[in-house]
Amino acid sequence: MIRLESVSYAYPHTGKPALTNLSLSIGKGQCVMITGPSGSGKTTLCLASAGILAHEYGGKKEGTVTIDGRDVKSYKDLSDIASNLGIVFDDPEAQLIFTTVEEEILSALERRGLRVDEIEDRLRVIMEMTKLTALKDRAPHTLSGGQKQRLVLAVTLALETGILILDEPTSELDEHGTNGILEILKGLKAQGRTILIVEHKFLRMREIVDTLVVMEDGRIRASGAPDEVIRDQGMQKIVMPDFSGIRERNRGDGVTGIPSPLIRVHGLSHTYGEDIHALFDIDLTISSGEFIAIVGENGSGKTTLIKHFNGLLKATGGSVSVSGKDAAKTTITELARDVGLVFQNPDHMFFADTVREEVAFGVDNLGIPDRDVVIDHALTRVRLTHAKDLYPRWLSRGERQRLAIACVLAMKPAVIALDEPTTGLDGKEAREVMEVLKELQLAGHTVIIVTHSKEIARDCADRVITMENGKIISDILTPGERP
Amino acid sequence: MTEILQYVQKDGFFHRLAPLTKILFVIIVGTMSIVSTSITFLVSVIIALLVIAFIAGLHREVLRQFLLIAVMSVILIFITVITLPGGTTLFVIGGIIPITTGGLLIGIIMTLRFAVLITAIQLFVLSTQPRDLVHTLERMKVPADYTLMFVIALRFIPTLQIEGHRIHEAQLARGYNPGSGVGGKIRSVAPVMIPLVSNSLARSNVLGLTIDLRGYRTKVRTPLRERHLKGLDYFVIVMLVLVGVAFFVFDAYAAGLI
């Protein structure tokens, strides 16, 4: 259905090859999963396969791409291609144009020259399939991440194309949201659709994947039946995240002194607006040198809880104290000296021209002495010294995540809290981030991570706190029974 | 976070009107308020709009904007009073700035005009689904690019609000303290606006592709759930035209033209 022959491509502004001599053939009804490090050309491959590179982009292009046996260049324009192929990009927000769920799906249906009754029929079927019927009058920006992703998928399904291309549809979703997407994909595969999916969650998608492709530096490193591909040790590291051994590393050597309580949470409640209860009566003590994972579904209150540690949110009931200071009475700038918070999307903070200046921002804000030494030290810690003069937004997602950590680390907080630090990273990159965090713990920091990943919680953290509906339902020290 | 200018799903009488009727409504009410210099007339238009909002079940959303209008009027009146003196001087501030009846009058009229325009446009946007608006403008032969530009500008207001808030939080967590007031706002431009604009630009690329892939440049469209003019529309249009004609006749008469 899709065929790429010796495709090479370089984006006009960088000139650096994004794809190099790449060939790939996807048969009818096949499900091909593409994985690999961030910045390896996965999204570019999607754009090439959909004919978007050929029609909408400048830059150096070589090789041929065919869809349904026809050269992509012979299609009139994108809407001509869209009658054979549907593509879902990785940012759902940018693909939702209208103000209600139903309107959004209709906007795709009405441009196909269908009859009115056909449209109403398809609308009903698609909303049922993607479980959006109950949400049909909701505004897209009020939906959860999983619901948005299902809606974007629904709009693409409305086009009823034989081929579907999905770019990281589950990267920001929790287990529940990922299951929702997986169920839909299973149904589509059963209908005989051809699916090209960029994903990091191989283990979850395994049952539908026929061919696994691993990319690196714009080339295909491995391609074939999943079991054969992961037989290679190097490939396995990229495809299947493995965090084993991180928790046990150097246990007991680095940490000096007796742990003392740093953060005390007492009877904490938080209510957004008048009636959205996000946290109920939380009691928690976090001591120096701990490595804590907070797990739970989307909307269970994890992010709301950690935002209280640096004063971004103030308790609506109960109290939070950080290093003996009452968080309600201390300014955010003051608390930033004790607690550094790294948000889920690193792009929400970058504005400087170079990586070094970016790190310097927080250091200067707090007036930390030995500025240059501190900045270099932070960049070394996160393994980014080679990139210090680059423009932050040119880095790969994995590097940007580590830069975000450096920005906070350079401010020398006792506690570093991170919201989903492995979003959008492959197995190897995710492990790198977790290793950096472990080293920070060994250097005396307290590390708190919010994560969806059970593997990370099990293999990296010393203590796992599980939240549900704004309450802590379990708080256990990870037993050290593993050798 | 309060949302600005977003469609609200309701079943009020204003929602049931066809978009064309509502466009006409905005044009006629807008023109009248711009032409008129009578405080009594402008105040009665505002009261009429509020009554309409109440009947249409949109009074909560519309009234929420009155705080914004109030803040804006204070600034507007202040500026006109100091820049456009005229009429009799009431008193002088600090021996330099004269407060005149002329300045006050112009300030108040300008404020009332803005209030009418904002309220009328708001009634329109709150009660019209962007899809219907796109169709209507398409039938009026407005090019698709302009229509979509307008619709998308409205649609992304809340997204930018949410994103701006997140970026602000991320910078606060980096010990950033721009201070409050106007100075703080100016200082916070780079750390908040640069990520906001960069992220939006990255997003606009995907948005453009999405519009093309959905076939918005093809002229094909199934006439689905069309909003044709109905009895209520004709009634409202006739009323609007009558009010409009009466207003202009009266205005011309008052100006001594007839």
Predicted local distance difference test score (pLDDT) of residue B152 = 86
CB-based contact B21:B237 (threshold 8 Å)? yes
A253 inside domain: no
Judgement on whether residues A269 and A221 belong to the same structural domain of the protein: no
Largest interatomic CA distance in chain B: 69
The CA distance from B53 to B120, in Å, is 9
Q: List the domain range (segments joined by +) for residue A365.
A: 261-477
The CA distance from A273 to A307, in Å, is 16
The residue-averaged pLDDT of A213-237 equals: 92
Is it the case that residue A445 has pLDDT exceeding 60?
A: yes
The residue-averaged pLDDT of B218-241 equals: 83
Judgement on whether residues B156 and B103 belong to the same structural domain of the protein: no
Predicted local distance difference test score (pLDDT) of residue A251 = 57
* Residue B31 three-state SS: helix
Judgement on whether residues A111 and A166 belong to the same structural domain of the protein: yes
CB-based contact B53:B124 (threshold 8 Å)? no
Predicted local distance difference test score (pLDDT) of residue B69 = 85
Is it the case that residue B2 has pLDDT exceeding 70?
A: no
Contact A95 B155 (CB under 8 A): no
Contact B224 A310 (CB under 8 A): no
CB-based contact A283:A265 (threshold 8 Å)? yes
> Which tokens hold the place of A309?
């540690």
B220 inside domain: no
- Give the whole-number percent of chain A exceeding pLDDT 70: 97
Q: A176-189 burial, b if ≥16 CB within 10 A, otherwise e?
A: ebbebbbebbeebb
Is it the case that residue A229 has pLDDT exceeding 90?
A: yes
Question: The domain spanning residue A11 has which CATH number?
Answer: 3.40.50.300
H-run or E-run covering A82: none
Judgement on whether residues B117 and B239 belong to the same structural domain of the protein: yes
Judgement on whether residues B18 and B124 belong to the same structural domain of the protein: yes
Judgement on whether residues B106 and B24 belong to the same structural domain of the protein: yes
Strands (E), A158-237: 163-167, 194-198, 211-216, 219-224
Predicted local distance difference test score (pLDDT) of residue A214 = 95
B237 inside domain: yes
**B213 vs A contacts (CB less than 8 Å):** 78-79, 81-82, 86-87
DSSP letters of A279-325? EEEEEEEEETT-EEEEE--TTSSHHHHHHHHTTSS--SEEEEEETTE
B188 inside domain: yes
Contact A79 B159 (CB under 8 A): no
| Band of pLDDT at residue A482, cut at 50, 70 and 90 | very low
CB-based contact A462:A477 (threshold 8 Å)? yes
A482 inside domain: no
Judgement on whether residues A269 and A154 belong to the same structural domain of the protein: no
The residue-averaged pLDDT of B88-96 equals: 78
**A412 vs B contacts (CB less than 8 Å):** none
- Give the whole-number percent of chain A exceeding pLDDT 90: 62
Judgement on whether residues B100 and B184 belong to the same structural domain of the protein: no
A250 inside domain: no
Predicted local distance difference test score (pLDDT) of residue A257 = 59
Judgement on whether residues B124 and B234 belong to the same structural domain of the protein: yes
Least confident segment among A50-54, A387-391, A478-482, B163-167: A478-482
* Residue A326 three-state SS: strand
The residue-averaged pLDDT of A404-420 equals: 93
Q: Looking at chain A, which residue has its C-alpha nearest residue B157?
A: A141
Judgement on whether residues A152 and A59 belong to the same structural domain of the protein: yes
Judgement on whether residues B233 and B195 belong to the same structural domain of the protein: no
The residue-averaged pLDDT of B65-69 equals: 83
Judgement on whether residues A157 and A40 belong to the same structural domain of the protein: yes
Is it the case that residue A349 has pLDDT exceeding 70?
A: yes
Judgement on whether residues A151 and A12 belong to the same structural domain of the protein: yes
Least confident segment among A21-25, A110-114, A278-282, A452-456: A110-114
A301 inside domain: yes
Residues B106, B109, B110, B111: is their CA dihedral positive or negative? positive
Judgement on whether residues B170 and B63 belong to the same structural domain of the protein: no
Predicted local distance difference test score (pLDDT) of residue A272 = 85
- State how far residue B188 is from chain A, nearest Cα, in angstroms: 11
Predicted local distance difference test score (pLDDT) of residue B214 = 85
Q: Is A137 on the interface with B (CB under 8 A)?
A: yes
Judgement on whether residues A267 and A164 belong to the same structural domain of the protein: no
Contact B206 A91 (CB under 8 A): yes
The residue-averaged pLDDT of A55-73 equals: 91
Judgement on whether residues A327 and A197 belong to the same structural domain of the protein: no
Predicted local distance difference test score (pLDDT) of residue B95 = 74
The CA distance from A270 to A328, in Å, is 13
Last residue of a domain, one of A239, A272, A287: A239
Query: Hey, which residues 6-25 in chain B have their CB within 8 Å of chain A?
Result: 6-7, 9
Judgement on whether residues B69 and B184 belong to the same structural domain of the protein: no
* Model pTM score: 0.83
Judgement on whether residues B172 and B207 belong to the same structural domain of the protein: yes
Burial label, A367 (beta-carbon count in 10 A; 0-12, 13-18, 19+): exposed
Q: Is B180 on the interface with A (CB under 8 A)?
A: no
Which residue, chain included where needed, has tokens 């959006």? Answer: A132
* Residue A136 three-state SS: coil
* Residue A221 three-state SS: strand
A249 inside domain: no
Judgement on whether residues A298 and A169 belong to the same structural domain of the protein: no
The residue-averaged pLDDT of A52-58 equals: 90
B112 inside domain: yes
pLDDT, tens digit, 9 for 90 and up, residues B129-171 = 888 888 888 888 888 788 888 888 888 888 888 899 999 999 9
A246 inside domain: no
Question: In DSSP terms, which residues pair with B215 in a beta bridge?
Answer: none
The residue-averaged pLDDT of B188-199 equals: 87
Number of structural domains in chain A: 2
Contact A95 B206 (CB under 8 A): yes
B195 inside domain: yes
B1 inside domain: no
A24 inside domain: yes
Query: Hey, which residues 146-185 in chain A have their CB within 8 Å of chain B?
Result: 155
Predicted local distance difference test score (pLDDT) of residue A326 = 92
Q: Which residue has the higher pLDDT, A379 or B66?
A: A379
Judgement on whether residues B208 and B235 belong to the same structural domain of the protein: no
Is it the case that residue A483 has pLDDT exceeding 60?
A: no
Q: Is A341 on the interface with B (CB under 8 A)?
A: yes
B222 inside domain: no
Judgement on whether residues A19 and A76 belong to the same structural domain of the protein: yes
B115 inside domain: yes
Predicted local distance difference test score (pLDDT) of residue A112 = 80
Judgement on whether residues A91 and A161 belong to the same structural domain of the protein: yes
**B212 vs A contacts (CB less than 8 Å):** 56, 77-79, 82
How large is the ipTM?
0.85
| Band of pLDDT at residue A414, cut at 50, 70 and 90 | very high
Geometric angle at alpha carbon A262, from A260 and A263, rounded to 5°: 140
Q: List the domain range (segments joined by +) for residue B90.
A: 13-128+228-254
- State how far residue B60 is from chain A, nearest Cα, in angstroms: 16
Q: Is B201 on the interface with A (CB under 8 A)?
A: no
Question: In DSSP terms, which residues pair with A450 in a beta bridge?
Answer: A294, A419
Q: Looking at chain A, which residue has its C-alpha nearest residue B7?
A: A99
Number of structural domains in chain B: 2
Predicted local distance difference test score (pLDDT) of residue A480 = 53
Is it the case that residue B181 has pLDDT exceeding 80?
A: no
Judgement on whether residues A233 and A288 belong to the same structural domain of the protein: no
Predicted local distance difference test score (pLDDT) of residue B82 = 82
Judgement on whether residues B123 and B232 belong to the same structural domain of the protein: yes
CA distances (Å), origin A37, targets A135, A168, A239, A460, B224 = 35, 12, 9, 21, 45
Name the region of A29 (left: φ>0; alpha: ψ -120 to 50; beta: rest): left
